[in-house]
Every structure is written in structure tokens, then in C-alpha cells.
Amino acid sequence: MFAIRNWRLKALVLVLAALLAGGIYSGCNRSSLGEGDSDSATMGQEAETAAGPDGALPAVTMPADPFSGLDTLNSTSFYPLAVSIDNASRARPQTGLSQARLVYELPVEGGITRFLAFFPEPQLAEVGPIRSVRPYFLDLAAECGAVLVHCGGSPEALARLNAGEVEHIDEIANEKLFYRRKDRSAPHNLYGRFDLLL
């Protein structure tokens, strides 16, 4: 092995070895703490406080706004909307996108993307241009309990919508809730009015 010639270095090595051994020993014995330990007493008090004196858990109420956890201004008629919005260059500038609480940019096909914009309490007049959806749009809308607003979709997405997986408003079945703007060309000109969608 090696020989330590300096007595100070020997003493330092011995002290460090003793501290290391003591630390390992105390760490191994951590599971054998008694009932009088302050950690276990504190944990017992926290559990008792959360459960209440009779052991019943307090009632949990779900917040009305799934995005902020806050109550909404008008929770009696509230349901969030998830709107599929066009992201093609001819669809810009989009209307209402800046008012969304949460926006996902999602790939569709051919290297293009669409936005899925969430509006917990829509307070603007119109939104668009509205486009079709893909299956993963449904998953995101379902996570927030949102009604999906779209114009058609892929065969798989439409099959899932027809099976009732997600509440939705489709322009194809509800054309009176939507309109086409004259200043843009189809398919980049379909808009929805929030006063009609709600």
C-alpha cells in the first residue's frame, strides 16, 4: 500500500475515516427511530390535521377555470373552448389568437402546423381562421374539459368525435355558427363568432 510519513496527515486521515464511518452508521440506523422522534411526531400531527378529528377528509371543490385554478366571472354558463386555428402564411394574421389562455402549435401533415387555442372565458367577437383537427387535438381538448371547435378532421379524429369522446362544434354540421370572410380565400377564411358558439 502506501505509508503516511507526516503525523498530522495521519491524524487527519483517521479523523475523516471516523467521521465517514459514523455518518454511514447513523444513516443505516435511520429506520430504527423511536416514536418519540420529532419527525414522526410532526408527520402524525400533519396527517391528523388533514383528516380532521373524526378521520373524514375535507370536501374538495374543483375550480371553474382549468387553466388558472381561479373561479370564473360567470361560472353558471361556463365551458372552455378549444379552437383549431390555421397557421398557414395566407391565414395570417389570425383573429383572437392573442386572447387565448393557452396555445399549442401542433403538426398536421406536409410540414404544416395548426394552433389549438384554449379560451376559458371567451370575451372577443370572433376567432379564426378555423381548420380541421387531428386525433391528438381531441386528447388535448379532453384534458381541459374543453369543447372542440373545428371544421372537419382526419378520418380517425372524426371517428372518435362521432363516438362521443369529446364534445365538439363542427362547422360541417353547424354551419350557421360560422361564416366566411370575403377578404380571404378558402380554406383560410372560416371564422366563428363567440356569441354564437357559446
Query: Can you name the residues that pair with 180 across neighbouring β-strands?
Result: 190
162 domain-assigned: yes
94 domain-assigned: yes
**Which residue is associated with the grid cell 369529446?**
166
Residues for the chain: how many in total? Answer: 198
53 domain-assigned: no
CATH of the domain at 173: 3.50.90.10
148 domain-assigned: yes
pLDDT of residue 17: 79
18 domain-assigned: no
126 domain-assigned: yes
**Domain interval for residue 136:** 75-197
Q: Per residue in 138-189, pLDDT tens?
A: 999 998 889 999 999 999 999 999 999 999 999 988 888 899 999 998 899 9
Global pTM value? 0.63
What's the 3-state SS for 146-170?
Answer: CEEEECCECHHHHHHHHCCCCCEEE
64 domain-assigned: no
d(CA 46, CA 157): 47
pLDDT of residue 118: 92
Of 54 and 74, the structure prediction assigns the larger pLDDT to 54
Total domains in the chain come to: 1
45 domain-assigned: no
pLDDT of residue 162: 93
Which triple of cell numbers denotes residue 124? 372577443
Order of strands across the sheet that contains 178-180: 126-127, 190-193, 178-180
